[in-house]
Amino acid sequence: MTKLRLLTKNLLDDLKRLTAEADTIYWMTAFMMKTGVKEVLPVLRDASMRGADIKILTGDYLSITQPDALQLLHEGVPTAELRMIESGGTSFHPKAYLFKSQNSSTVIIGSSNLSRSALTKGIEWNLYAPSTVDEEIFETSADEFMKMFLSPNTVLINNEQIDLYRTRYDETNRKLPFSSVWEPQTEIEMTFGTTEQEESSIVDPTAPYQSSVLDPRPAQQLALTALNQTVEAGYEKALVVLATGLGKTYLAAFFAESYKRVLFIAHREELLTQAQASFARVFPNRTSGIYNGQQRQADTEFVFASIQTLARQYHLHQFSPTAFDLVVVDEFHHAAATTYERVLDYFKPKFLLGLTATPDRLDNKDVYSLCDGNEAISIHFLDAIRQNWLSPFVYYGVLDETDYSQLKWRNNRYDEEELLRLQVRDSYAEAVLNAWNKNKQTRTIGFCSSIKQAIYLSEYFTKAGYRSLALYGNTDRHTRTNARNLLETGQLDIIFTVDLFNEGVDIPSVDTLLFARPTESLTVFTQQIGRGLRLATGKSHCVIIDLIGNYRNARKKFEVFNESKELPTKINSETFTESGYFEFHFETAIIDLLEAMKQNEPIQQRLINAYFDLKAELGHRPTYLEYHLKANEDVKAIQQKFKTYPILLEYAGELSELEKEVLTQYRDLLIEINKTLMNKSYKMILLKYMLTRGASDWYRPVTPNEVAPFFHAFLMEKPYRRDADLSDRQGRSLREYDEGKVAKLIATMPMTKWSGSSKGMFMFEGGVFGTQIEIDEQHEDVLFGWVLEICEYRLHWYFEKRARTCRRANQCDLLK
């Protein structure tokens, strides 16, 4: 058992034995069958019951994985993390089984997928490598597994995702007999790139600081001031949004000065090494170390850790929850992912700092709430340009006549194979070349949707006489570094890439950006714009050339050019232009297209589609607050179009017969709670207290004195609530609890005012407050749930809005 072994039959016996012993179980298979899942289900269930860390990744390649296998595993081992990679036609053939217990580890890699035949009597070869052969093989394999497992191309398997996959599975297998799925000619090789990002910048991360003494730049000083204020105000968490190029990592280093031990978390190895170099410049005499799949330096003052490694239970538990005084999470827009949340829930630092260049919730994730609603400062790239901290730009919107309207949309992106067929055409390449030729400067990065498109466009440009290269995740390091140097020195005209320069990779002299792809992710679009805004000698401005067609986010993408993140009614060349800072030029056809899209937008259906997209992502009916935090539409439109969330559910066909009865009978009450004015949070805090009494009693009368302790404790519990509604003279006098004063406020404000504005639905008489509506016993639970959802949404929305308003006002003062 201690040697490297070749397994040619009965892999199942080894899998069962190792699963029964291991506390870490990571499996990756190209496909899985119900027969194979049945064989391993009992031992996986036992491992789950004893608390093992179980992660399983499979693929949708050629729709071979059986939906019933996913369902059986999902229901049979509910604590396991099960994900599926959406291959987009790229061949996905790995078979790897990783196990780790307290004293040993084993890796099995070979040919066996998760089917009974492959695990028992099939002709399969698998190599069995225990830790006695190579202690590092598990760590290396587990690290690579986690990179794939956390790839953006994977989806978390839940009942909704299984149903969606089942539809695709049935369609594919009706068209393609199972006997033919293994024909080599059916494979589309090298269509889409790995999700691996570029490894390092050609610019030394310490290069911006040439002096021996480092001082914060102006933007960093503003952020430090804001962070110090937020610490003094009693916050324990904060989000900082700094546009690309303003130095987030150095900001973290400057802020870390007063903290003894610091954990810096990032999702790419290159960000860790760059951060370590930056911290070393600021603190040359303090110790630092990398903690990832290859290095595990845990006893230093500064620890720079890979999220892929920390997400593994074994490594997370190598640290005490209180081991660090400060935890910094880079590229914090990733942090709403389940993996990050588990790590952040584990650590209990004195302060948590989230860093991102991307404004919150651009891609439907609740980054904001992870920092207790405290966004210490947000410097948008437009603000940074106004301050001359980033380069001005000139934007050209060019019509793309490609018809995207019939493409399938899944998991917030277009079907990759269908998109590829539209983009790899001479007519499209010619349109891209013409737009570039007309508007370009000297050094260009061209952003594409796929490797094949990048290669195709690069070859097309080369044939036209231009110096062009395609770079992507599979390109070797030497070629990538050399290509960047050639572009920097003017020996290349353009590099076509696939998400390669999104995060942490800079070529400051780049003065032209070419977008030859639909904008699917506003986060990625914002990051890519940042690649052209670095200041550089001889660079007066950046040119952005954007081919726009009738794709889904064609109008929505312009939110990134507005700090308020709201779209104006009219989008044209004057909408966003500010002379001397940024200019916009739209072809007339683009203006007509955007106007037509606005007129033809079925807003109600869009809201419903966003609901179903989110339901598939979460695996359950989203609550009103979840919709606000994570859906791909503005929740304010629900009030405008549906008046309240349960009515959207009704239009979506999501209500049971009982729920339909409840909505019919109490529609006016639900609308009133959803729309009542909130100059303060007091009405919803009153309602929140009433709801603490349960489904059968929430609507019964209450007195101001009864509400007072809860009311005061709720406002004082979080600094942002206290600062929002107890900051005026009257509020400050209530910070010390005085039941009489608080009760008087409750009687005067929420009770009297709501009674007067609710048309009799709520009444305040004889010193008691309550609803005047009779509620049938069989309706109590459903109505209680809906009222609770509305209350929680409105409280969150209120404090989020107040914090943003105050932050913007403070920031304007700082920038003056």
- 565 shares its domain with 422: yes
Contact 641, 373 (CB under 8 A): no
* Mean pLDDT of the chain, nearest integer: 86
Q: What is the pLDDT of residue 209?
A: 42
Q: 312 or 327: whose pLDDT is higher?
A: 327
Mean pLDDT calculated for residue range 281-297: 89
- 674 shares its domain with 769: yes
Q: Is residue 645 included in any domain, yes or no?
A: no
Contact 440, 541 (CB under 8 A): no
H, E, C per residue of 612-631 = HHHHHHHCCCCCHHHHHHHC
pLDDT tens for 48-72 read: 999 999 999 999 888 889 999 999 9
Q: 416 or 659: whose pLDDT is higher?
A: 659
Which run of H or of E encompasses 771?
strand 768-771
Domain end point (choices 354, 385, 416): 385
Q: What is the pLDDT of residue 714?
A: 95
Contact 545, 512 (CB under 8 A): yes
Residue 319 has pLDDT above 70, yes or no: yes
Q: Cα(496)–Cα(491) distance, rounded to whole angstroms?
A: 15
* Count of CB atoms situated within 10 Å of the CB of 479: 11
* Side chain identity, residue 422: L
Q: Is residue 738 included in any domain, yes or no?
A: yes
Least confident of 327-341, 394-408, 451-465, 738-752: 327-341
Highest mean pLDDT out of 153-162, 231-240, 662-671: 662-671
Q: Kindly indicate the confidence band of residue 686, based on its pLDDT and cuts at 50, 70 and 90.
A: very high
Q: 350 or 187: whose pLDDT is higher?
A: 350
Up-side HSE of residue 398: CA atoms within 13 Å toward CB? 23
Q: What is the pLDDT of residue 213?
A: 54
Q: Which tokens in the block code for residue 543?
A: 């040119």
Contact 128, 6 (CB under 8 A): yes
Least confident of 410-419, 424-433, 495-504, 691-700: 495-504
Residue 173 has pLDDT above 60, yes or no: yes
Contact 536, 508 (CB under 8 A): yes
Q: Cα(270)–Cα(203) distance, rounded to whole angstroms?
A: 13
Taking 3-state DSSP, the helix, strand and coil percentages for the chain, each rounded to the nearest 5, stand at 45, 15, 40
Q: Long-range contacts for 430-433 (Cβ within 8 Å, ≥24 apart)? A: 430/460, 431/398, 431/400, 431/401, 431/547, 432/457, 432/514, 432/516, 432/547, 433/460, 433/461, 433/464
Q: 371 or 668: whose pLDDT is higher?
A: 668
Q: What is the dihedral sign for C-alpha 12, 13, 16, 18?
A: negative
Residue 713 has pLDDT above 90, yes or no: yes
Q: Which residue has the tokens 């993390």?
A: 81
The backbone region for 580, taken as left when phi is positive above 0, alpha when psi lies in -120 to 50, beta otherwise, is left
Mean pLDDT calculated for residue range 140-149: 90
Q: Cα(245)–Cα(268) distance, rounded to whole angstroms?
A: 18
Residues 6+ apart with CB under 8 A from 804: 375
One DSSP character per residue, 525-581 reads HHHHHHTT----TT---EEEEEEE-S-TTTTGGGGGG-TT----S--STTTS-BTTT
Q: Cα(739)–Cα(728) distance, rounded to whole angstroms?
A: 19
Residue 338 has pLDDT above 80, yes or no: no
Domain end point (choices 533, 567, 600): 600
Q: Which tokens in the block code for residue 569?
A: 């009614």
Q: Is residue 619 included in any domain, yes or no?
A: no
Q: What is the pLDDT of residue 810?
A: 63
- 106 shares its domain with 225: no
Q: 477 or 792: whose pLDDT is higher?
A: 792
Least confident of 125-129, 146-150, 350-354: 146-150
Q: What is the pLDDT of residue 500?
A: 63
Mean pLDDT calculated for residue range 604-612: 90
* Count of CB atoms situated within 10 Å of the CB of 550: 18
Mean pLDDT calculated for residue range 200-221: 57
Q: Is residue 427 included in any domain, yes or no?
A: yes
Q: What is the pLDDT of residue 365?
A: 47
Q: Which residue has the tokens 């929680």?
A: 792
- 689 shares its domain with 737: yes
Residue 646 has pLDDT above 80, yes or no: yes
Helix, strand or coil, per DSSP, at residue 398: strand
Mean pLDDT calculated for residue range 526-544: 92
Q: Long-range contacts for 617-624 (Cβ within 8 Å, ≥24 apart)? A: 617/155, 617/156, 617/160, 617/161, 617/411, 618/158, 618/160, 619/156, 619/158, 619/159, 619/160, 619/161, 620/158, 620/160, 621/649, 621/654, 623/789, 623/792, 623/793, 624/789, 624/790, 624/792, 624/793
| Number of independent structural domains in the chain | 4
Q: Cα(281)–Cα(236) distance, rounded to whole angstroms?
A: 27
Can you give the pTM of this predicted structure?
0.73
Q: How do beta strands 302-306 and 288-291 pair?
A: parallel
Mean pLDDT calculated for residue range 596-611: 83
Range of the domain at 252: 218-385
Q: How do beta strands 444-447 and 494-497 pair?
A: parallel
Least confident of 49-53, 175-179, 675-679, 767-771: 175-179
* Count of CB atoms situated within 10 Å of the CB of 465: 8
Q: What is the pLDDT of residue 480?
A: 78
- 10 shares its domain with 134: yes
Residue 190 has pLDDT above 60, yes or no: no
Least confident of 157-171, 367-381, 616-630, 666-680: 367-381
CA distances from 540 to 29, 323, 393, 441 (A): 51, 47, 9, 11
Q: What is the pLDDT of residue 634?
A: 82
Q: Is residue 199 included in any domain, yes or no?
A: no
Q: Which tokens in the block code for residue 697?
A: 């009693």
Q: Cα(382)–Cα(379) distance, rounded to whole angstroms?
A: 8
Buried b (16+ CB within 10 A) or exposed e, 261-292: bbbbbbbbbbbbbbbbebbbebbeeeebbbbb
Beta strands across the sheet bearing 375-379: 288-291, 302-306, 262-266, 326-329, 351-356, 237-242, 375-379
Residue 211 has pLDDT above 60, yes or no: no
- Percentage of residues in the chain with pLDDT exceeding 90? 54
Identify the CA nearest to 521 among candidates 556, 561, 490.
Answer: 556
Contact 14, 128 (CB under 8 A): yes
Q: What is the pLDDT of residue 125?
A: 94
Q: Cα(377)–Cα(227) distance, rounded to whole angstroms?
A: 8
Mean pLDDT calculated for residue range 730-746: 90
Q: Cα(108)–Cα(100) distance, rounded to whole angstroms?
A: 12
Q: Cα(662)–Cα(624) distance, rounded to whole angstroms?
A: 17
Q: What is the pLDDT of residue 815?
A: 60
CA angle 350, 351, 356 (to 5 degrees): 165
Helix, strand or coil, per DSSP, at residue 97: strand
Contact 69, 41 (CB under 8 A): no
Least confident of 36-45, 85-94, 326-335, 781-790: 85-94
- 105 shares its domain with 181: yes
Q: What is the pLDDT of residue 180?
A: 37
Up-side HSE of residue 317: CA atoms within 13 Å toward CB? 7
Q: Cα(262)–Cα(252) distance, rounded to whole angstroms?
A: 10
Q: Which tokens in the block code for residue 276?
A: 């370590």
- 698 shares its domain with 550: no
- 412 shares its domain with 375: no
Q: Phi first, then psi: what are they for 494, rounded to 5°? A: -155, 140
Q: What is the pLDDT of residue 569?
A: 80
Buried b (16+ CB within 10 A) or exposed e, 560-586: bbebebebeeebbbebbbeeebbbbeb
- 559 shares its domain with 578: yes
CA angle 484, 485, 491 (to 5 degrees): 100
Q: Cα(506)–Cα(391) distance, rounded to whole angstroms?
A: 14
Contact 201, 503 (CB under 8 A): no
- 571 shares its domain with 428: yes
Q: What is the pLDDT of residue 136?
A: 84
Helix, strand or coil, per DSSP, at residue 353: strand
Contact 580, 382 (CB under 8 A): no
- 313 shares its domain with 395: no
pLDDT tens for 383-395 read: 999 999 999 999 9
Residues 6+ apart with CB under 8 A from 653: none
pLDDT tens for 461-487 read: 999 999 999 988 667 767 877 888 899
Q: Is residue 232 included in any domain, yes or no?
A: yes
Q: What is the pLDDT of residue 241?
A: 87
Q: What is the pLDDT of residue 22?
A: 95
Domain end point (choices 336, 367, 385): 385
Contact 146, 57 (CB under 8 A): no
Residue 444 has pLDDT above 50, yes or no: yes
Q: Domain with 173 in it: what CATH number?
A: 3.30.870.10
Q: 132 or 541: whose pLDDT is higher?
A: 541
Q: Is residue 662 included in any domain, yes or no?
A: yes
Highest mean pLDDT out of 2-6, 180-184, 439-443: 439-443
Q: Domain with 258 in it: what CATH number?
A: 3.40.50.300
Mean pLDDT calculated for residue range 90-102: 89
pLDDT tens for 451-462 read: 889 999 999 999
- Percentage of residues in the chain with pLDDT exceeding 70? 89
Q: Cα(307)–Cα(311) distance, rounded to whole angstroms?
A: 6
Q: What is the pLDDT of residue 807?
A: 63
Q: Is residue 693 included in any domain, yes or no?
A: yes
- 295 shares its domain with 413: no
Q: Which residue has the tokens 């790899």?
A: 424
Q: Kindly indicate the confidence band of residue 195, based on its pLDDT and cuts at 50, 70 and 90.
A: very low
Residue 410 has pLDDT above 80, yes or no: no
Mean pLDDT calculated for residue range 268-276: 85
Q: What is the pLDDT of residue 208?
A: 43
